[in-house]
Amino acid sequence: DGDRVIMVDHEGNKVDGDQILYIIAREGLRQGQLRGGAVGTLMSNMGLELALKQLGIPFVRAKVGDRYVLEKLQEKGWRIGAENSGHVILLDKTTTGDGIVASLQVVAAMVRNHMSLHDLCSGMKMFPQLLVNVRFTEGSGNPLEHEHVKAVTAEVEAALGNRGRVLLRKSGTEPLIRVMVEG
């Protein structure tokens, strides 16, 4: 339905919503049009957070879902937010995710800066991410509340330190736990 955008650079590298958010936020900063910061989600790559921090752009995470990104934008009074899936919300242009509007912002940044898509992404180093879906039996309670799961999660988080993170979240539509490890 056109509400998302994913791009591919001239080397065949996928450019996801996190990278698109980085490009648009950086360009907004360069043009003096960035108001506040940028909103991502719990699934946003740590590379986005670090790259925006280096630019002095505040970054906050919302729950997964474009409606939560929109809520956080409205709460903060900011204008730019995205999910890594390619939902990009630019409140100074539209009130919802629009893949065409977002892609035009990226193309405009390419033209203004005389840079390729690949070069525009070069200031953001993506952290490797692994996402695994683990099915569980419904009716057995919330697996995320089990003491063993909490203990193992804490152990992995301690091992990663500030070099990575682990995120466990229950699917809202299926009996799945989504496990994301990044670092």
> What is d(CA 44, CA 47) in angstroms, rounded to the nearest whole number?
8
How crowded is residue 29: how many other Cβ atoms within 10 Å of its Cβ? Answer: 16
Question: Is the Cβ–Cβ distance between 121 and 9 less than 8 Å?
Answer: yes
pLDDT tens-digit series, residues 62-92: 999 999 999 999 999 999 999 999 999 999 9
- Domain borders along the chain are 7-121, 129-182
Tell me the CATH number for domain 7-121.
3.40.120.10
CA distances from 101 to 24, 91, 110 (A): 11, 11, 14
pLDDT tens-digit series, residues 92-116: 999 889 999 999 999 999 999 999 9
Q: What's domain 129-182's architecture? A: 2-Layer Sandwich (3.30)
